[in-house]
Amino acid sequence: MDEANKRFPAGDPSLQPLIRSLLAELLIYTPLVILYFLFILRIAERYLADLYYQAPLPYAAGSLLAIVGQGVLLDWLTSWLLRRFGLRK
Amino acid sequence: MFFPISGVFIHPLILAGIGFIVGILGGFFGVGGGFIAGPLMIWAGVPINFVVGTDLAHMTGKSIVAARRHRALGNVDLRLALFMVIGTIPGIELGAQLLEHLKVLGNIEHVVGYSYVAILTAIGLFTGRESLRALRTKRTDQLEAKGVSDVKELSVTARLLRLPPLVRLPVSGVREVSIWAVILVGMLTGFLAGFLGVGGGFLRLPLLVYVLGIPTHVAVGTDLFEIIISAGYGTVSHALKGNVDIMIALTMHTGAAIGAQIGAVGTRYFSGPTIRLMFSILPLIAAIMVLLRIGV
């Protein structure tokens, strides 16, 4: 219980630096995602749609790989942004 | 923008915005957010037959981001998550089979709907009561069983289930617990996931905290890891049935990824009881949404 209390303190009242950092992160993240959407996802869309109509099993596997891959990619991007704006050591 | 798989026109920023909101909920509370995302996706124009499968796909990706963040904060108990999976997958199949059986009998919407409302209401009221009591007595993270009379019986009962094999969960601070209790939690939440088409986090979080005695922050992180597995399984299952528009899921996920980070970081600024109190509102909102949907 004491260890839990040490790891999880009751709360930090100074949220202003957090809010500022998160807003800055959003300002950087948004245009990057828009570029990613326009140049990567729009290209992948054609191949995924073809798979959907022609090959369900590869489409299911491809869907899982696509969402996991994007998860890892965006996690890397958002982690970098968090470190950049001092929210993560 | 036109999405050829589901055949609809939806503005991608709307989808990303939905993902952002659900991502914050997921990162902060450790839930998949399906009970919020579903109605929002329907509002945005996603065909109903694509809503469940597409949301599960988006939930998989979002949970990866949130779970990795919680892992970095030390909030993921991998042993606990992997033991739960042993029960989750069969639970999902059982729930889905019951759903198919009810479809044959007819009147499935009201049976499922009222079951959902009852469970959600019970979870919301119980969690809210417990967290208010914890805040009043100024306890912080790990729930002290002796401080909450009705939870004491649950927690002690789970610990007393000393059916071997017993497992240690050092990350959660649990010295010994029956593996069957852990598997049962996974199976119960998996069953609800298969039966109700949700990630199950709204039930798993209270079960982890109140039955297994897991600290709230670890329960949130571990729950997200578990959702990766259950939602990933659901994604493949629904994709094979033609119910996943992966482009919609990927678009939603662009918003969810940053929302999940924000939600996960936010847990550092709130104590366990405060998180649980805020969490208790979600099932009650979901219960109201279900009641409105089934036309009560």
Over the stretch B216-243, which tens digit does the pLDDT of each residue have? 888 888 888 888 888 888 888 888 888 8
For residues B283 and B25, what is the distance between their CA atoms, to the nearest angstrom? 12
Q: What is the pLDDT of residue A9?
A: 46
Tokens of B85: 């999976």
Q: Angle B246-266/B12-29 helices, nearest 10 degrees?
A: 40
Q: Report yes or no: A33 at the B interface, CB cutoff 8 Å.
A: yes
Neighbours of B268 (CB within 10 A): 15
Give one DSSP letter per residue of B60-96, joined into a string: HHHHHHHHHHHHHTT---HHHHHHHHHHHHHHHHHHH
Q: What is the pLDDT of residues B91-129, one digit of tens each?
A: 888 877 777 777 677 666 677 677 778 887 888 888 888
The pLDDT tens digits for A20-45 are 777 777 788 888 888 887 788 778 88
Tell me what pLDDT residue B246 has.
92
Tell if the CB–CB gap between A11 and B274 is shorter than 8 Å: yes
* C-alpha torsion sign, points A68, A35, A77, A9: negative
The alpha-carbon gap from B164 to the nearest alpha carbon of chain A, in Å, equals: 26
Chain B residues whose beta carbon lies within 8 Å of the beta carbon of residue A86: none
Residue B199 pLDDT greater than 70, yes or no = no
- Is it the case that residue A1 has pLDDT exceeding 50? no
Assess contact for B34 and B197: CB atoms under 8 A: yes
What mean pLDDT is predicted for residues B153-166?
A: 63
Most B CBs within 10 Å: which of A39, A53, A67, as the mutation test of the B interface? Answer: A67
Write out chain B residues lying below 8 Å of A22, CB-based.
Answer: 262, 265
- Residues on chain A touching B69 (C-beta within 8 angstroms): 75, 79
Of the candidates B194, B187, B183, B189, the residue with the CA atom closest to the CA atom of residue B205: B189
- Whether residue A10 contacts residue B271, with contact meaning beta carbons closer than 8 Å, is answered with yes
Nearest to A70 among B61, B72, B141 (CB): B61
CA distance A80 to chain B (A): 11
The dihedral sign for the CA sequence A7, B214, B68, B18: negative
Amino acid at B229: I
Nearest to A41 among B215, B250, B266 (CB): B250
Q: What H or E segment, with its residue span, contains residue A6?
A: helix A2-7
Residue B94 CB burial class (10 angstroms; 0-12, 13-18, ≥19): middle
Q: Is A75 on the interface with B (CB under 8 A)?
A: yes
> Which of B129, B112, B290, B253 is CA-nearest to residue B192?
B112
| Distance to chain A for B273, nearest Cα, Å | 9
Q: Which of A23, A43, A74 to mutate to test the interface with B (most CBs of B within 10 A)?
A: A74
Residue B13's Cβ-count burial label (10 Å; 0-12, 13-18, 19+) is: middle
Cis bond upstream, residue B165 (ω within 30) = yes
Percent of chain B residues past pLDDT 70, beyond the cut: 86
How far apart are the C-alpha atoms of B285 and B287, rounded to whole Å?
A: 5
Confirm or reject contact between A85 and chain B (CB < 8 A): no
The reply to whether residue A71 touches residue B64, judged by beta carbons under 8 angstroms, is yes
